[in-house]
Structures are given as structure tokens and as C-alpha cells.
Amino acid sequence: MHRPASIAVTDQPALRAIGVSKAFVSGHLRTQVLDDLTLDIEAGELTLISGPSGCGKSTLLSILSGLQKIDSGSVQALGSELGQLDLRALERFRLEHTGFVFQGFNLFPALSAFEQVELPLNHMGLTRDEARRRARLSLEEVGLAHRMRLRPAELSGGEKQRVAIARALAKEPQLLFADEPTSALDAANGQMIIDLLHRIAVTHGTTVLCVSHDPRLVMHADRVLAMEDGHILSDRRPAAPAIDSHGTPS
């Protein structure tokens, strides 16, 4: 897999949160979403964050990807301290090293599948030929080579999500963040997306961090983190016994 020269390959975790706290304030109401959370995410794995609505899992994903700032603590991604990057450097970091897949696909109605995937590559300083090559290969990898000229209105929900994954994949990111990627899909398309995310982690060595309610993802994840009330309730690998927040098997 291509790795940008500006990021050194080390044995340290791909993502690290140290004592992270985050609260949201609305009027006189203050809601503590994350409370002194510490977590390492290993490189080249599919890690699933599960838990009930409002437990803080999407906020954690946004913080680890640099989309949201923290109230206290430290967040490191690929060895960079995100809190020390200014806005321009943070945007450049996300552009060059991260990919995002969202529940709502986030596609442009007027663009074809090929154009959706090619668009962010044009902002990365790639030649036109290289951008087109990557866009074509990524769409082929997600099984949409024959649909690349179609616009979103002509695609099924599963195909739209595969376009979104191809768009992220074409950047050759070291980090791929997926927020509820299967929740808008039927069972068959959801399973296809799960298989695809796991294959990306295995074949590309990409660190895939996924937030989801979908229990099918558990079987495909290398690691499953269960969250509740802003804390990691359990941390397990499906083939190993779960370790609860007190360090005992569960």
C-alpha cells in the first residue's frame, strides 16, 4: 500500500486518545459525552465501536478523525498530535491520510460515480491521469466498474455506499472512518458493505474504525469496543474473552 512520505511507519498505535473529555452545552444544560477516556487503536485492523444511541461513540469517531476538538486530554493520529495542528494543517492531514464513509452517503446529485471518486483526488496534487487511474481502480475494487458513469439517482442504496467507499479508498488513506455505514441498507447490501470494509483492512493494511449498531459487524471485526455513558465498557477480540472496564473477563 502507498504510504505518504510525511508520515513515518512505526510500531505505535494508529490512533491514541489519552484522558479525553468532551461535553456539549445547550443553554444551562451541560452533557458530558466523553469522560477521561483513554484508548489505543492498532494499525491495519477493523475496530468496531458499538453501544446505544447517545453513548458517545460517534463523538469519539469525530474526535479521533480530527473533525471535533476536545475539552481536555490528547489525541494522536499516525504519530501527530491533532491538538497542535492549526486548521490548515488539520485539513491537509485529513485530506492526505484519512477517508470517511457516512450513513447518508454524502454524494453530489449531479456527478457520476466516477466523478464523485475523482473529485477529492484533484485536491491532492495528483496528475489528472493518476487521479483517473485511482478512481477507476477503486470503483473496480468495490464492484462498480460497470456503473461508474451513473449518477446517484440511478444507483441503489448499496451502490451509493460502495461509491462512497471507493471515494475514500482512492485516496489510499492510512485511516478509514465509517459512521453507521450499513444502517440505511437492507440485509444483503449491509453484508456486502461489511465484507468490503473488512477486506480493505486486510488487503490494504488500512486502519478501519467503524461506529455501528449492526450486530453483523461483530463477526467481521478484529476488535469490538462497547461504549456506554462516555466510557469503554468492554474491549474484546471476537476470538478472545471480553475484558470489562475493571480488567476482568466477562
CATH of the domain at 234: 3.40.50.300
The domain in which residue 203 lies consists of 43-66+86-244
Distance from C-alpha of 117 to C-alpha of 135, rounded to nearest angstrom: 5
Q: What pLDDT is recorded for position 7?
A: 43
Residue 241 pLDDT exceeds 90: no
Residue 230 lies in a domain: yes
Q: How many domains does the chain fold into?
A: 1
Q: What pLDDT is recorded for position 104?
A: 84
Q: 83-140, pLDDT tens digit by residue?
A: 899 999 999 999 899 999 988 888 999 999 999 999 999 888 899 999 999 999 999 9
Which pTM value belongs to this model? 0.88
Cβ atoms of residues 193 and 214 within 8 Å:
no
Residue 200 lies in a domain: yes
